[in-house]
Structure 1
Amino acid sequence: MGKYFTLILVLVLCSKLSVAQQSYTEHTIQKGESVYKISRQYGVHVNAIFELNPGSRDVIYAGNVLRIPNSSNTTGTSSNTVITENKISNYIVKRGETKIGLSRRFGVSITMLEQQNPHIVSMLQADHVINVDKSIEEIKPVAKEGEHYVVKGETLWGIARENGISVAQLEAANSDRLSEFLQIGQTLIIPDKVSIDTSSDEYIVQRGDTKFSLAKRFNMSISELESKNPHTVPMLMAGHRLKINDSEIGFDPEAPSDAIEVTEMTEVTDVTETKPDSSLSTTNYKNYVIEPKETLFSLSQKAGMTIEELTNLNPKLLTAVIAGDIIKMPIGVSGTTVNTSSSAGTNDTTDTVATADSNNEDSTTKIYSNKNEVLFANLDTETSNGIYFYTPFSRQELSSPEERQKMISINSEFQKYIDFFQGSQVAIDSAKALNLNFDVTLIKKNIAKSNITIESPHNKNAILVPFSDTSTTFPSIDSNAPISIIDIESNIESSDSITVYKSIPSETTQITKTLNYLAQKNSNVIVISDLDEARHKDLISNALPEAKFLKVDNAGFFKSDALEKVLNKNRLNHIVFDSDKTIVLLNTTTALMGKLSNHNIQLVMLESSLLPKQSEVSDMRYRILQLIFPSTSNPQNKIDITDFENKYEDLYSAKPTRHAILGFNVTFDILLRISQDSSPDNLLNTTRSEQPHLKFDYQKTTDKTFLNTGIYLMQYNSNEGMTELQQ
């Protein structure tokens, strides 16, 4: 009888399961459809669709499949919940839902959501009850004097520009309220509009102030100024409160500026020629030949003009100060002059480039020394070294806006070379400020040549090769002195005549570093992919032989109980996500967050390129799942990054592109390394270094090849934002 009863029970359960499995219809999403529109089409509640398709709360894609429950099986969110086009009543918040998700779902702003539900302002929690009446007009917050209320679409750059201040000033005044991203609805302090009472012993830094001018104004050295105000050591910012302790303060309006100026943010423009000021008469100027070692600063001093006036008169100086170039200078300035009919010279295979100098006592370059103590401690400023750039441009083409534009019109890819060299120019200026001694030479790329002969007077030399075509074989090098090839995304193969240093870490390096970290943790590793074979299965299996592989469907759904079976309640579970589909990430992370109450889970990505844009996936998911991912740059190194960006914008009135960032970081690092007081054989592979964006840790892979393995391993933290993991 007992067996018979058990059989009946099993049959009943199977029958219910069969009914449950057939209680939905599959709908292929069409372009322009929304979850709400689909729910109306099938006569079901949107919540019922969300429950069967978790990732659809954030985004859906045409071509993907949604599971639509049969209308007879849907009961809505709760028995008391009512959702219409104009009103939401008694909606109960579910675990994993966010304010931004609810605002999109209900078609209201987060501000309206919070105004009508003040209990969610501090934090949205599961089981909160939401009521929204769309007929009630949203109350627009009014910012107080000296404040700014952030609305949708605004950026820090736009707010700073609107208020006539720099981004650095805005960030300094709001350091206690700015997180990684600007938030809609938050209030920012505008430093120039905040009235601050100062005593005779204090001074509030104004826009345009510099350490040099302030030190002179208050009759002290820069070292004394920094000693009394250590918060200004990394960077002087508008709004900083300085301790002066000197009641007799004089003001010198003619005090010169130093290297760290508090400047206004300028409008981002293309790299184009600046038209000379029409008020500058050409009859009072002569043609002047730039001499070796002359700089923009020294030329402006010699001309008795400001740098802005000199560059308006000679737009080519905005790109570089090149020895031998002809510029206009006031009559009476000593130096070599030429007639207007004279030729500027022929274009040789190699062109020597003189670069901008800086003799200011206060150089921001010292910021970078904090992380490169070994390099800075062993600099040789007496011996001259050689730096070469392998480029499609000649000296004349690179320095002429017309020639550059002509080449870009032929091949738009040339723009990245221009950006790279502009970043390199900032690095060269910074290195000159350290009194490093080097000569810079351009080698014009010529695919017809299979050999480059270099007669160098230097014992240490390096050729930087950015973005060379992979289809082009790099020429062999005949040099009378040791020389190293610095590969910047060029895929150069080493040979008997050349040693190659690959300066940008590869994707394989990112993957290997991340896997090696996981191997040290003795965790339960689960690899999730939407393919039959994970893309990096061989690398993963070699590093983590006990890793489990789990496949999801194209929408990111697991088979019944598949995830539960591989998770371990007694160990840390590292979930390695190996897919580039956003919908798969959304549904997978939703499933993982549902398991957090009983399991210790951390999400892992092996490549930074797999991270979707923030507009597609909220980083709150990453914080909840404590995402671990590799990165070639350090997103926390904001001081050094801001310093570089300010310098770049001062020179080129534009924000640096990725290629300009590479130009600065690689060039500055190589200039430090090549200037070490060591033998040429010990040139690049002896010291780890860290520049504003990139880390450099060259490791020997073959006799003639060195690979930069400098990778940051980052982890999202729910409380602190993001931290760097120790490898």
Structure 2
Amino acid sequence: MKHFVTVVISGLFLSNVAFAQTKNYIEHKVEKGETVVQIAKKYSVTPYDIYRMNPDSQNGLKENTKILVPTGVGKMLAAKADDKKAPFKEVVKDKVKEAVATKTITHTVEPKEGVYGIAKKYGTTIEAIYKSNPSVEKEGLKIGQVLTINVPKTDKEPVKNTVQEVKQSLVSTNGKTLYHIVEAKETKFGIAKKYGLSVSELEDLNPAIKENLEIGYNLRLSKNVPAVQKTIEKEIEKVAVNNKYMTYEVKPKETMYRLTKSSGLSEEQLIALNPELKDGVKAGMQLKMPNTSKFDDVKANKVSVDIVKTLKKDNEKELVLFMPFNLDRIASDSVRTTQERLRSDKFLNMTLDFYAGALIAIDSARALGLPVKVRIFDSKETKNNSAVAAVIDKNNFSNTDAVIGPFFQSNVENTASLLSQYNTPVISPLSNEKGKPYSNLFQSMPNSDDVKRKMFDYMQSKNGNIIAIVDPKKGSSRQFLKENYPSVRLAELNEKGAVTLENIKSLMEADKVNFVILETESKTLVLNSLNILVSALSQFQVQLVTLEKNETLDFDEIPLSRLTKLRLLYPSVTKDNETPEALVFANTFKKKNNIFPNRFATRGFDVTFDVIVRMFQENGFKESVNENASEQVENKFDYTSLGGGYYNTGVYIMNYNDDLTVKEAK
């Protein structure tokens, strides 16, 4: 027997020696922006395996440093050692990993969706979807079917309520309550009563609470478990810190505006978190961003392409137009004739102009050989009411590929809501209100704030020094600058309400273009500012800027020569187009309507033609919007997704030139 024991002990010793001689880890060189989670995934280990061998890694990783990653036997030994030393600590870690590693979501199948597209959307595989939904592999997808999808959480994905989930999962094991985490307004008496203890028994188990019961304290409820407050809190704190921020790589041509919208932070807060942003947004930057940031699949600042060259004409597509003709009102108006109504009703005139332009677009699409079916409905709308709900209820929209209209914001939002069951794209043609975000609503008219932001994107792309002269009456402009662009330098006005050369010069920089924003409708302040800025040209590079087309600058008293000398810049949703294609549209419109098109007629053509051509792209309207910007006769369409809705940010930056022409700035 003694000999047998000796043999067994010797065998264990030799086994330990053999294990020790095997390299149970590999060295990994940390790359730029790499996280513990990413490295763990790469080697199929858990983050906690890496933390065990590299305790300092809990404080973050540094580029080009080397860390140890356990493999094979080393991983098993580390886990076994941890299990002997602190079994409850392992439970804590398992709970934390469980809370942050995976999630299960549901997806309702929409028309025209396939398994591949759904798998791509959620970053999973077709096989994984089949595994969670066996009927799909046998019977295929059905519209309205609810799928269960298991999706791995990434380090860039926000984790909802993780800390709370961890806290809840730690208080019990195998159905037996072991700990209680003190919440606000709880008392020792109430907690003791809840678990069938006396206050004195609770205090004996947790001596630290005899004098004071602190919120967040982890109360031991049994003598058979260790006091683990620090262990649990450390794990919870780690989860909270890890889930608070993520690393985001800036994409080419990405703007500060898009970063602020995606992160939910102001420009000032982003710079405080990432000081390198002071020198502007540059592609490839590794930024620290809140884990709640939402970055969509829409390309930022897409290059305009000719989408007519990539048409797919195989299948018929259906377009619906909701036009506010209000024919019932015209028919019931016995007082005024139709001609009188047309002379006085501006809204009706605008509708007919838009509609006339849309008809030219439909004819042009059919001339290209596009099999487009068009249905037109009278939306009978006022600002707060329309007949759209009744029309949708009485007609089949399940096969409609896109809808243009209605005109009023509240009505187009209602339409998007009603057609969301089919995921039908609804295009708002004329409203420049920001509106509510719907995943199938596309605001084709840039809103005023986005127009201004495009001007700032341009100035920042030129690494300019931005100064603003703001009239005291322009309180909203001052507030806009303060909230969105706090780094802009504001010029002081003297007691006469004028700007001085000394003050302007003190704000300028010699090695940069000094963009000077002028926000006023006062001709006096305009003339004063132009004189001062022209004087500063002898020492500085100066360019005049307005955040919207300023009619005050068109007065005869304002010398055009001053505006061209200061190379006036302003943003615009349209631009004059003298290309052969634009002239063909104008002449065609005149031939049919005996008048050249106004801006509403041109807008009707541009919106309608753009929608039709996008419908006939390989992957349909929505994918085309995600991938490409486009330009038609006078309008640009460059959609971005913010907060779940789609907004056209296609804005031109226009420039006064020495030859007295106004052209797009480059």
> Normalized against structure 1, the TM-score is what?
0.44
Which structure: greater helix fraction?
2
> Normalized against structure 2, the TM-score is what?
0.47
